[in-house]
Structure 1
């Protein structure tokens, strides 16, 4: 259980992330939204007490690296049915995190493959889409990256049947920077062969 100070700063961190994605969604040009996202994350990483890079001074000063924005990697995808799968994963101090598969999306070529769409039972619920692609361990974190985690504010839009997935917004989980975090990682159904050279990189 966090103390009062850390609880308040964590609430502020999540609020700021949600506000950042709100700005991103308001941008008519996705590339401009991506620029705001990168700048907002750089500021949070450099200054916020809840930053996962708090213990990595060079990243607080220099920021994290990204591949250039690629507009061909932004998709609006229909969520297709998938067999129900439910699993508990270690969430560290937050306890176990329960994931329930609610469907899948198919990525167009040249990316190809599919990604499972999960519902998080924790935090009042939320959509979670991790991805482990061909850059894992060779350009990005070996355990994968996140595309959406709506419980933490990461949401690019959609409706009752579709998700907006922009692979340029792939980002590393906090555990990539600090092993005090325990992050749900990409299951087999969220692994694709293609190298997605977009989003946050090592």
Structure 2
């Protein structure tokens, strides 16, 4: 990695972490979501490390989302996993991404499903929660979306026992926008059969792509 790219990437992560810190300070979840949307659109439209190609119309229109749904925000306990599970995911030039399951989160109705919570077993580490729901391949990217990626600052908060899961903050990985990115996608433990009509969705300006 050249020095300019390294500095730009560090700035992107710094800005993302600062944005989520402001989100966590908000008492009103809907206002926090509006703040997040505006901040993320600003980064996606102008930051040199944006995943959007320079001519992408989403730089002007903003990334599309479903309306905020307060019924899709939860604070849930992390349940221990019965077995020690590890995954190794080939992420191209970035090498192998190693995931270690740290537990499960059971999401109440209207989702009513269980998702695996992972730890990125690399330098620095971080909690990682991808999800591929029944909208994938239609209204959202076929490879799924991300709920949390604390290594990159995407963190909605926890109290040491419960973790905040708000599907309205679900966002597409960079590989949804540009094939130069190779992203770890949702494994079987994070694939569910119900639609989650919240968070980032596909734009009618640009069809979704299944990962190749």
TM-score by length of 2: 0.92
Which deviates the most, 54-63 or 101-110?
54-63
- 1:55 shift after superposition: 4.0
Q: Residue in 1 aligned with 2:206?
A: none
| Range that drifts further, 113-122 or 83-92 | 83-92
Q: List per-residue Cα deviations over 1:118-150 (Å, max 9, x = no partner).
A: 000124110000000010011000110000000
Distance 1:159 1:191 in 2: 26
- Give the deviation of 1:54 after TM superposition: 2.9
Counterpart for residue 142 of structure 1 = 142
Please tell me whether the aligned partners of residues 79 and 103 of structure 1 are also in contact (alpha carbons under 8 angstroms): yes
In structure 1, C-alpha distance between the alignment counterparts of 2:53 and 2:163, rounded to whole Å: 32
Which aligned pairs between 1:30-49 and structure 2 lie closer than 5 A? 30-49=29-48
Please provide the CA RMSD for this pair: 1.0
Say if 1:56 and 1:177, in contact at 8 Å, map to a contact too.
no
Partner residue in 1 for 2:199: 199
Any runs of at least 4 consecutive aligned residues in structure 1 with deviations exceeding 4 A, and if so which?
none
* Unpaired segments ≥5 residues, structure 1: none
Name the SS of the counterpart of 2:57 in structure 1. helix
Q: Distance in 2 between matches of 1:38 and 1:60?
A: 13
How far did 1:35 drift? 0.3
Q: How many residues align?
A: 201
Query: Which residue in the other structure is 1:4 paired with?
Result: 3
Residue 95 (1) aligns with residue 65 (2) = no
The answer for the alignment partner of 2:71 in structure 1 is: 72
Within 2, Cα distance between the matches of 1:176 and 1:114?
Answer: 25
Q: 1:59 to 1:32 in 2, by over 3 A?
A: same
Find the residue that maps to 1:168 and give its secondary structure: helix
Distance (whole Å) between structure 1 residues aligned to residue 70 and residue 55 of structure 2: 31
Contact 2:33 2:68 in 1 (8 A): yes
The residue that corresponds to 2:154 in the other structure is 154
Contact kept, 8 Å, 1:112 with 1:192, in 2: the verdict is no
**Structure 1 CA distance for aligned equivalents of residues 40 and 68 of structure 2:** 16
TM-score, structure 1 normalization: 0.97
Distance in structure 1 (CA, Å) of the matches to 2:110 and 2:29 = 20
Q: Match for residue 127 of structure 2?
A: 127
